[in-house]
Every structure is written in structure tokens, then in C-alpha cells.
Amino acid sequence: MADESLLSDDLLRQLVALGHVDVLVGIPTLNNATTVVDVVRAAQAGLGKYFPRARSVIFNADSGSDDGTPVLVRDATTDDTGTVTASRPLRTTQRITTPYHGLPGKGSAMRMIFAVADLLSADAIVALDPDVTSVTPEWISALVRPVREGQADLVAPLYSRAAVDGPLVTQLVRPLVRAAYGWRVQEPLMGEFGCSRRFVAHCLERSWGTGVIPDGVDLWMSGEALANGFRPGQAALGPRLLAHARKPPGLPDVFQQVMDAVCSCLELHAGYWLSRGPAEPVPCYGTLPGAVELGPRPDVTRMAESFARDVSALNPVLATILSAPTLAGVTAAAATRPLVYPDELWAATVFEFLLAYHRAVMTREHVTQTLLPLYLGRTASFLLQHGSSGPAVVHDALESLGLAFEQAKPQAAAQWKKA
């Protein structure tokens, strides 16, 4: 059940007046004035075009923007409480924007969106990232339709990615989640997703919002769905283009957040994934267009040189995390020219870091930060091999990496149980 204390009295009154809705599109925002209008328009167009008869609402949970984001979203005047409802001229789509109070971050915003969806008994819920500039009306259809047709409880996105695009997902999170949870989900860090009312109710019943994983709510939801028997699905969305943030967080910060989320989720769902068998495919809806390179190519040679230096410098720390054979393998890989960091070695490395995190052999932040240089080395190795390869070759290489993680999992699971 929704925690109604999350919602102000005024908002509750408006929601009660709305009654039941079929589709709710949730947009958590924080200073997204440059991009949020296009996202809202795409959502409205998608709802109007693909679900013309459905009662729908676009709900914006804003965590205190000071650039006018809520004003742009609601396109109406504020009342005393800062909560506004504006009837949309097309069909029955409503737009609600409201500030939320509590812990800042996407986790709190999503919790509020889910609480509203639960209160409105929404059949299908879609969450959109307000920073994405490539969102189209078709995304709404792709994320909603499998849920409304009863084919899936959680629809994860499927993006077109070039070899160079998103290595933190393709090299680390995707194969690790695949091996651990036993589902071939391509994008566990769901930027956008669709889900069912049943899944929303489940999430609200969990101890959500206690601050355990405030930065990893997307991954937490993926894990909750996979670990609790909800039917997963994937919707082909195409390329995901993001607006340039004013002050983007550095890679160490991003890596730390992602690794904290991954490790927290694996700790949380250990009861499920430790006994889970080989990975099963996840149904895909739609056809993915070809990938396009979204930015400049990285200087892989420099990354490889840095990797050799970093492994040498971090050797005393690595010796407390990695087993002797794995450390010897990493050291040997760092010395090879051109750099080759094999799939099996990378999988063993990641799982041994995971075990070190679980056993807390040192401060957990130190464990995850020590993995960063190795991740960059693995990325450099992959791009040296496949940076110019065609989509089919890249796909096969990533599939091979996923299998390497699956093969490394049983030993890691056995050690995890012993720890």
C-alpha cells in the first residue's frame, strides 16, 4: 500500500479527484529545464497516439529545482501549496507536478511516483529520465504495451550501443547481473522502464526509502523484479542520448555509486542469486535500430599505459583483495602489448572484488575504488580488440563475456556462502 504520509493533503485531494488511471508516466526532476519540456511533450504525444482511450497522467516529482523545471512541466500557475493540476487539452491526460520533501535523490522521487501510481491504481507505470534528449512517443508505447497486455511486470529498456558506448554497463554491470540473477537483462541500470501495478505494490511494501541504496534505485528495482518472480521484459528503444549536464560527476564518483548499488543489491538478494542457475533469456519487444557512436573515441593507448602503471602502484592493495593466481594474471595482462585482459580473468577479478566487499577485508569504499583502474584496463583491452568491429562481432564478444561471468559464478557463490 502507498505510504500516504509521503503525499501532501492537497496532492491527495487532487489524486482522489482523478480516480483510477490506466497509465502513469513518472518524471523525477532536479534542474532539468533544458530538456524536460521535450520529454513531457514526447510522453504526451505517445499517450495520445498509442493509448488514445486510456486515462493517463504525467506525474512530475521535483526535488527542489531552482531553474523553473516545475513551471515548465505544469504549464499552469501554482496554488498555495505548490501543487498544481492542469488539464491537458488533448483527451484525458492530466499533468501533475509537485515538490517532494525528504531525502534528495532519484530513490525518493521514484518512491513518491510509485505511491501516487498505487493510489491511482494505475495499470501501467512508466518512468522517464528527464535528461534524455532522444525520447520519442514510441518509447511510451514500447514500455507500456507489454505491461498492459500482461506479458511483463517490468519492462527494461534496450538501447542501441556502439562498442565504445557505456562500458560500465557492458563490461561490468550487465554480465555481473546476468550471471548473478540468472537473467539476460541488457540494461539493469534502467534509465527508463515500464512496470505493472503489482510490481509497484511490491516495491512499496519493501523497506524502500530507508536510505540503503538511495543512488541505486534503478538497479534495486531490477533486482527486486528478478529475485521475486516478476516477469521481466525488454523494450527496444534505440539510442539513448543525454544532455550535457552542467557539472557532470567525475568517473570515480559515478563508478563508486554504481558499484555501491551493485554490491548492495547482491547483498540484499543473496538468498536468491546464490542458488540461481544459468541465465535465461528475457523477452524482447520491438527491433533495435543500429548503434551509432555518440562521442569521441577514447585514447585507448593511453588507457593501456595507465593500466600498467596503476596495477604496479596498487599491487599491495590488490594483494589483499585478489587471489594469487588472479593477481598474477592481472599483473601479466598489464605487461602485455597490446593490452589483453581476457574475459575469464576479468570475470574472476570482478567476483573476487565482490567477495572482498562482502567480507569487508577493508573499507568497502576502498574495495570499489580499487576496481576502477582495473575496469579502465579491461575497457581499454575490449576497445583495442573490438573498437572498430561490426555490431555482430561486438555482440558475440559481449555474449562471450557474459558466459565467462556465468562460468565464474558457481565458485564465487560457494566462497560467498563460506564467508
Number of residues that bind another protein (CB under 8 A): 37
Q: Of 11-19, 22-30, 130-138, 356-364, which segment contacts another protein by CB under 8 A?
A: 356-364
Report the SS3 class of residue 352.
helix
Question: What's the rounded Cα separation, in Å, for the pair 411 and 348?
Answer: 9
The yes or no reply on residue 360 touching another protein (CB under 8 A) is yes
The yes or no reply on residue 89 touching another protein (CB under 8 A) is no
Show the DSSP H helices in 244-342 as ranges: 251-268, 270-273, 300-313, 315-321, 324-335
The yes or no reply on residue 313 touching another protein (CB under 8 A) is yes
Peptide bond into 130 cis (omega under 30): no
The residues pairing with 94 across neighbouring beta strands, listed in sequence order, are: 57, 87
* Beta carbon of residue 178, minimum distance to another protein (angstroms, whole number): 17
The yes or no reply on residue 258 touching another protein (CB under 8 A) is yes
Q: Note whether 371 and 408 are within 8 A (CB).
A: no
- Concatenate the DSSP letters of all residues of 355-388 into one string: HHHHHTSS-HHHHHHHHHHHHHHHHHHHHHHHTT
Handedness of CA 403, 404, 407, 411 (dihedral sign): negative
Among the listed residues 356, 319, 83, 106, the one whose alpha carbon sits nearest the alpha carbon of residue 208: 106
Query: How do 56-62 and 94-99 pair as beta strands?
Result: parallel
Q: Note whether 40 and 137 are within 8 A (CB).
A: no
- Contacting residue, 250, 277, 287, 337, with another protein by CB under 8 A: 250
- Closer to another protein by CB, 8 or 306: give it: 306
The yes or no reply on residue 284 touching another protein (CB under 8 A) is no
The yes or no reply on residue 328 touching another protein (CB under 8 A) is no
* Unique residue bearing C-alpha cell 577514447: 298
- Contacting residue, 3, 4, 10, 165, with another protein by CB under 8 A: 165
Footprint (CB under 8 A) of another protein, residues 288-307: 294-299, 306
- The HSE-up count of residue 245 (CA atoms within 13 Å, CB side) is 9
The yes or no reply on residue 384 touching another protein (CB under 8 A) is no
Question: What's the rounded Cα separation, in Å, for the pair 62 and 69?
Answer: 8
Site string for another protein, 192-231 (x = CB under 8 A): ----------------------------------------
- Closer to another protein by CB, 12 or 294: give it: 294
Among the listed residues 46, 235, 25, the one whose alpha carbon sits nearest the alpha carbon of residue 149: 235
* Beta carbon of residue 314, minimum distance to another protein (angstroms, whole number): 6
* Beta carbon of residue 295, minimum distance to another protein (angstroms, whole number): 5
- Contacting residue, 25, 169, 225, 334, with another protein by CB under 8 A: 169
The yes or no reply on residue 361 touching another protein (CB under 8 A) is yes
* Beta carbon of residue 394, minimum distance to another protein (angstroms, whole number): 15
Q: Interface with another protein by CB under 8 A: which residues? A: 164-169, 189, 242, 247-248, 250-252, 254-255, 258, 294-299, 306, 310, 313-314, 316-317, 360-363, 366, 369-370, 372-373
